[in-house]
Amino acid sequence: MPMELTQSRIQKIWLPNDSHPALPRRSCGPQLTNSPTVIVMVGLPARGKTYISKKLTRYLNWIGVPTKVFNVGEYRREAVKHYSSYDFFRPDNEEGMNVRKQCALAALRDVKLYLSEEGGQIAVFDATNTTRERRGMVLNFAKENGFKVFFIESVCNDPSVVATNVMEVKLSSPDYRDCNSTDAMEDFMKRINCYQASYQPLDPDNDDRDVSLIKVIDVGRRFLVNRVQDHIQSRIVYYLMNIHVQPRTIYLCRHGESEFNLKGRIGGDSGLSNRGKKFASALNKFVEEQNLKDLKIWTSQLKRTIQTAEALKLPYEQWKALNEIDAGVCEEMTYEEIKEKHPEEFALRDQDKYYYRYPSGESYQDLVQRLEPVIMELERQENVLVICHQAVMRCLLAYFLDKSAAEMPYLKCPLHTVLKLTPVAYGCRVESVCLNVEAVNTHRDQSENMNSSQKQS
């Protein structure tokens, strides 16, 4: 007997009837069909472990895989309120060693809670984990709880890279709040030496031949990968092989105001209005003033972004993936027309804008999946200007600013404004540059009718 199915009104996907409860909403996106995964960072201090942890977590959450970082250093700072010196990390300091082990165990208890009870799919255990004994403890913990383990070891022997990392990140740590930079640098280098003496790198040719791992060598100059177990681990490897730490700037903007913008119509493929053309000229002047070497320019395949790029008199690349969200049966309508002709759809979209899929069209969730190759290529590039559309720009911005799925569809991306994104230590600095050309406001605020639980979902 064929199983009875019901189509969800918001996502337009087929679900079994009540006898088979649907998967929880947060597990949409790439499905981990097997057990949850603990990502275990490995490496000496100041090797970029926390940078990798935070960046990877941001990416995984963006593609729909619930992920959280558990930084053992934060547990240690909570347990030991006042850091005195590197002596705490000396291998012969029994009290310090015991405190550090208890902090690691406390973090692992929270990892278990997150993966077993709170709907998490990936936990990043961010610590040095430089000894086989400590890694063995984590492996046993994972085995007892039915979790997979994937190790990420960051290896860097370039003194200048390590020194830069210490100066940019470590000296601003709470450990050195009341310390001058010279003394802090000296103390931290001695702290590294405390770990160096007992450091046992991952060894995929011998002791760790059966372990799933990636070694990131010299900030991505070289990689060593061993025993990738599943789809999500392969995506993690692919992501890590595409990111870099070179200084660069990413510029995001929408096309100039279009004829459809003036009429309040969504989607379509209309050309620029007169004010849109003025913005294109202003954008040309702005780009010239930035004086960027080897600037890449990307557009969608829709007329309004291409007309905007043409004014720059520079080579540009068209991406179909950058086309605006497909509004399906609602394409080229005004919101008033949608409300009149499709009142239920209009209400459903206000109810859950991220997951809502237009009939025969797309959702923001679909858009994120479509834009993943764009994000990968943006991570590989240096200076890039992306001329795109409102929903597309929101998705890209949400990735760089670590915004949730609930926040994404309501990010403000006004016409005739350039957002300048500069990657910094653990995030991204954003500057908003208005080019002083008037345009209509296409932003729609979150519906006041939504209850608080919907707003937080």
**Residues with catalytic annotation?**
126, 156, 255, 324
- Exposed / middle / buried, residue 98 (Cβ in 10 Å: 0-12, 13-18, 19+): exposed
Query: Encoding tokens for residue 65?
Result: 């895989």
SS3 318: strand
Beta carbons within 10 angstroms of residue 373's beta carbon: 11
How many angstroms separate the CA atoms of 442 and 64, rounded? 27
**Bridge partners (DSSP) listed for residue 151:** 40, 213
Nearest-5° Cα angle at 27, 22 to 31: 100
**Within the chain, how many helices (H) and strands (E) appear?**
15, 14
Q: Which residue has the tokens 């002596």?
A: 87
Type of residue numbered 171 = L
Burial 22-60 (b: 16+ CB within 10 A, else e): eeeeeebbbebeeebbbbbbbbbbbbbbbbbbbbbbbbb
Q: To which H or E segment does residue 225 belong?
A: strand 222-226
Question: Contact at 8 Å (CB) between 217 and 158?
Answer: no
Q: Which residue has the tokens 């702005």?
A: 286
Closest CA to 332 of 302, 355, 296, 290: 302
Long-range contacts of 293-299 (CB under 8 A, 24+ apart): 293/383, 294/382, 294/383, 295/383, 295/384, 295/385, 296/381, 296/382, 296/383, 296/384, 296/385, 297/384, 297/385, 297/387, 298/322, 298/374, 298/384, 298/385, 298/386, 298/387, 298/388, 299/387, 299/388
